[in-house]
Structure 1
Amino acid sequence: MLREPVVVEIAERHGRTAAQVVLRWHMELGLTAVPKSADSVRLGQNLDIFGFELSADEVASLSALDRGDAAGADSDAFGH
């Protein structure tokens, strides 16, 4: 998802990374994301998602990328 043109375009517009845009999108949808990184710079970026907001159109564009169940596994059914 981080290489999707829509995500990259929104990230560039906000001066953020694609990962920050995806994390912010999760937050604006009221979802909980669990980002993972061993890189201290990325850890800081993962926390730095509160200084910008996505427009309703941007949220809709990101949500339109949903590929349904085929894109991921339900951790309640398959574990972590």
Structure 2
Amino acid sequence: MSHSNFYRKVKSLTGQSGKELLNEMRMSRAKQILTENKDIRIDEVAYMIGFTSPKYFGKSFKEAFGVAPSEMKGKKA
């Protein structure tokens, strides 16, 4: 399957681009990790889900959920 066909298929099924879909999945996984494990550092979570910059991860997380990752640590969702 070509890249353009794949893009169109993902867009038609989800209403999101591949990048948006992947980012949503990463953020939900980060939220899960942070709520289940209060002892993990924010930068470790960022690297675990594929971000290379913890600062950008924090910014993206806050955009997605309205709270900083540090405020999410140990809370039950």
Please state which structure has a larger fraction of its residues in helix: 2
- Common topology (TM > 0.5): no
Taking structure 1 as the reference length, what is the TM-score of the superposition?
0.32
